[in-house]
Amino acid sequence: MENSGEDLRALPLHTCHADPLIRFYRFYLTFYTIAILTLFYHHILQLLSSTTVVFFCLSISLFFSNVILAVNWFSQQPFFWCPVHRCTYPERLTNKELPGLDVFICTADPYKEPPMGVVNTALSVMGYDYPVEKLSVYLSDDGGSDLTRIALSEALEFAKHWLPFCRQNNVDKRSPEAYFRSNNNYRSEHVKILYQEMKEKVENHIIKKSILKTNSAEHPSVVQVLLKTDRDLDVSGHPLPNVIYVSREKNRIFPHHFKAGALNALLRVSSLMTNAPFILTLDCDMISNDPITPRRAMCFHLDEAMAEKLAFVQFPQRFQVNKSDLYGTEFRRLHTNMLGFDGMKSPIYIGTNTFFRRRSLMSNMPVVPVPEFANEVVGATYEVNGRTKWGSTVGFRYGSLVEDFFTGYLLHCEGWESVFCNPKRAAFVGDFPITLDSVLRQGKRLSVGLTDVAFSKYCPITFGLKHCSPLLRLAYFHYSFGSIPSIPIVFYGILPQIAVVHQIQMFPNTRDPWFLLYFFMFVVSYARDLADFVLAGETAGKWWNDQRMWLVRCVTCWPVGILESFLKKMGSFSSSLSTVGFHVTSKVTQYDSDERYKLGIFDFGTASEKDSPSPYIVSLAVFATMSLVGFTVGTARALKNGKTGDFTLPLLLCGFVVVNSYPIYKAMVFRKDNGRIPWKSVQLAFFITAFIFSISSCVQL
């Protein structure tokens, strides 16, 4: 892709244009705001006309629930105020112009993050269409495992054959696993055999357990240069990129700050060894899917008009999901919202697929490249020996379980800007948990971290006033308080069901004109959400699963995350009650779980009767059962009393939840496979449901 021409450099490296639907978005904002204000007017009328304590309590609960939902909706509107789309022209960059690039890959546990996945990620970035003398790959092994290091060493021997093959055949998928999964031809047969041999060697180490398992909480530091550009060549005589294995020292006495601490260790090591001006951070399961991705990022970083303030270029996360994205793991709303963040020049940092300008993370840190000191800067005591700026004003920031969100937020508060680059061909593709319980456990960690930020001195309402616009702070407010809507959803999952069973009217009947307002707001809100998905190129099936998973998170992991965040803030008395921690999400999949996922069948991941019931699955079963009872009993009693018109809205609400809960009912009663909900959890859910309805009867609801 070498270009001589100065003519090309006279052309822009990227373009940006506003979303053509901006006018519609602003019209919708005005229209729906009027509807919300009208709804609150009706709530006030209801409160003033309350004749019983029960009706007043129901009305005030719905009022505050709708206030929270309205604030959440309003905080989402900055994303649609000025969304933008960008296009890059990487072919206009010459190799001579391209700066040095250090790639950081993070892994923590070889038994949860399989070494073959890690080495495929490393091989995919080693194969970038980028000047090899300007490319260095750092692997952070926070588990300090010999298994990971040996797997990487085996992979680097294979790389001497793989990288020339990619160049000679113009391979797009430079992860060998991904390439051989989708390509079978005679030209690749020899390389495929070499890959299988390498893979067998690595997997044999795991099966035979021939390598001593390292204590991931305590181990010495290791910095090892496995490949060096001016020393190592591939089979075609072409230089190989630098590859450095790093395992920082860990000691139980000193805090290690999880992934943020690992990234800061890589920052220090790389500054002493290669000190490239730009850094790519990658999760170990996020393979590169496009070899020209670094060039796309440099289209922004090398733009003189942006360079002074541009901290990072963020690429979206794409996952190998099934055709309907069963667990809503692609987070399409985040992709849509990133276009709005981009209009404010501040897309959030999502922890991976990010090209940083080193200066934005280490602007005040003088660096003298001395590789001999590499082991010292990854020592367990390095940050506590008077070097307290690390994690506060230097490097990746500490103080939250969502260190990625927190780091990007603080950089924006310091005046830095960012860019969202979303090319048609996915730049990176990764794996995601394929059991519901694992997905919800990850959701709880995000909920805890975001809630920590929301209720701290860094709250977006009051922090960052100097550099962040009101719209940007409102957008960050939306994410930091993102778990709070679970509170009204829990109310809506309990109160209408109880009320309709006891035939207490809490919504307008079909003869009341106010009925149309409630019905209209529900339908329009969901129609708009569906339209956003379709316009983003997704299917109605993916939208349905995404909205269902939003409801699932609202009644499971998000409330638990909020509770744990507050328990942590309460201090030593409650610290033993809180189980907050950074847990590595397992990327290991069982064959039967993988098959169920491909077929679009929910895997609740807790089928063993020996295990304690998962609180998330029990909670989910309780809400599903309550809505089923509310719909069936409420309908029967309304028909018997001739009051179907009085209870149409709560019955529609219960029916909507019942339709969403079909996979849950199936897993509770009919399924016999290992992905079902255990009978122990079903019994507990039935007991809790019966208890709630019994209590409601005692207070004469």
pLDDT 10s digits, 302-354: 999 998 999 999 999 999 888 889 998 888 889 999 999 999 999 999 999 99
pLDDT above 90 covers a percentage of the chain that reads 71
> Is the pLDDT assigned to residue 574 strictly greater than 50?
no
CA-closest candidate to residue 429, choices 518, 322, 533, 318:
318
What's the chain's Rg over C-alpha atoms? 27
Kindly state the tokens that stand for 364: 């005040």
Q: Write down the pLDDT at residue 363.
A: 77
> Is the pLDDT assigned to residue 607 strictly greater than 80?
no
- Binding residues for Mn(2+), as ranges, are 259, 283
Q: Between 146-169 and 189-208, two packed helices, what is the crossing angle to 10 degrees?
A: 170
- The pTM is what? 0.92
Kindly state the tokens that stand for 92: 């206009």
- Binding residues for UDP-alpha-D-glucose, as ranges, are 112-113, 142
The answer to whether residues 607 and 678 touch, using CB atoms and an 8 Å cutoff, is yes
* pLDDT interval class at 144 (50, 70, 90): confident
Rounded mean pLDDT, 663-675: 92
Q: Residue 1: which residues within 8 A CB-CB, separation 6 or more?
A: 90, 91, 93, 95, 129, 292, 295
* pLDDT interval class at 183 (50, 70, 90): confident
Kindly state the tokens that stand for 228: 């060096």
Q: Which of 19, 102, 342, 404 is catalytic?
A: 404
Rounded CA separation 449/452 (Å): 5
Q: Residue 464: which residues within 8 A CB-CB, separation 6 or more?
A: 409, 412, 413, 472, 473, 476
Q: For 505-558, what is each residue's pLDDT tens digit?
A: 999 999 999 999 999 999 999 999 999 999 988 999 999 999 999 999 999 999
Average pLDDT of the chain?
A: 90
The answer to whether residues 616 and 560 touch, using CB atoms and an 8 Å cutoff, is yes
Dihedral class, residue 390 (left if φ above 0, else alpha if ψ from -120 to 50, else beta): beta
Q: Write down the pLDDT at residue 595.
A: 86
Rounded mean pLDDT, 175-203: 88
Q: Write down the pLDDT at residue 215.
A: 59
- Binding residues, as ranges, are 112-113, 142, 259, 283
Q: Has 404 been annotated as catalytic? A: yes
Q: Write down the pLDDT at residue 683.
A: 95
Q: For 410-420, what is each residue's pLDDT tens digit?
A: 999 999 999 99
DSSP notation for 41-110: HHHHHHHHT--SHHHHHHHHHHHHHHHHHHHHHHHHGGGGTS-EEEEE-GGG--TTT---EEEEEEE--T
pLDDT, greater one: 333 or 581: 333
Q: Which of 19, 102, 142, 546 is catalytic?
A: 142
List where CATH 3.90.550 sits in the chain: 100-316+350-381
DSSP notation for 474-524: HHHHHHHTTTTTHHHHHHHTTHHHHHHHTT---S--TTSTHHHHHHHHHHH
CA-closest candidate to residue 441, choices 327, 569, 295, 291:
327
Q: Which CATH number fits domain 100-316+350-381: 3.30.420, 3.90.550, 2.60.40, 1.10.3470?
A: 3.90.550
Q: Write down the pLDDT at residue 213.
A: 57
* pLDDT interval class at 1 (50, 70, 90): very low
